[in-house]
Structure 1
């Protein structure tokens, strides 16, 4: 009779300890179920380190995965009261799958967004102080950028600044060789473009370097200014000679 009393007491103690230290409860209402308490949920691990800890089974070479499936809009995200550290991935019934979504995969895109005609994917920095850093190349309208920024389309901007190390003011140096106009004329007849300027074929082959071309155009404007000054001096000298001849005739 004594043994029958001890066993239920031990069982009761174990249940009380589990209730005290585990402090986890399941509750349900209709088709919903909840777990709450000071514990974590472990899948393939007896020692969860987070509220939900998913680990690949021991000896299994498959990566641990979490699949949320539905026919409507699917959402997986994090949220907290401070509004920081949140992440959200969502899909819609129109196009619920992402075409390029890998992060940190060298053989594919770092971060990608897929969109259809009706669903436009994008990146938004919701602060005026945000900045983005890209170590490689950026392509807009092209998936094969050849430069730091390649744009297949029109660029509109209120202001564009181009770095220029050496402006063409050396045209005004005393030792600068200013071609005679006769030499410039001969060069144009032979080559069909101005001296020191790329040809049409070079433009088609190498594209247009904005900084380099602006500097060359500045060089030609300054050369043209020197030609005008030179011609003006000749005109003034000729006018002086004409005035002297008129005076001699009148005398």
Structure 2
């Protein structure tokens, strides 16, 4: 028995390769200390000079949407719980577990590997490049990646429950809000966020391809019925 991957749009692996190449290109340009670093500095200096107190509070509120353990995981878990009870299947929890795993094995290691200090460190007179020892964990933005991945899972769970426009808004609008707020609050350089967009969308596409309804769940046999095949059917070829 062979499991067939679920469809994604745009179809094909060319888009995934393009995302990975874009992430690699930004990383190489930053490591090579190219003029791209000047963009980081210009954006940081602008946002620091145009952030009144009231706007700061608005930005902080918007940025909470990207809090992984405090917001994202509980939110998706709650929705998965109600979906699980309604359909009498544990399968809604599978993409949540997948999201936790895929972000754990990617975000942390890349941050440790690149060693970049956040722009909020004003002891820096220049935008920090990559691959410095004991420097920081700014690159790429974990908030942005988590938002893309976990709100992507939430959108998948709610497909067929909410109108398509609302599902699209969940999938795309929230990550853009978090990208803007993390940059405007000087939590991350603008290139941290752009790289995170590419890596986050790549991870989201990987999760969306998994045929969750076809994964064997022997220990949960009485709660292993289909869920996703009522939205975007996964096929099994023999």
Give the TM-score category using the shorter length: under 0.3
TM-score by length of 2: 0.22
Higher relative contact order (CA 8 A, sep 6+): 2
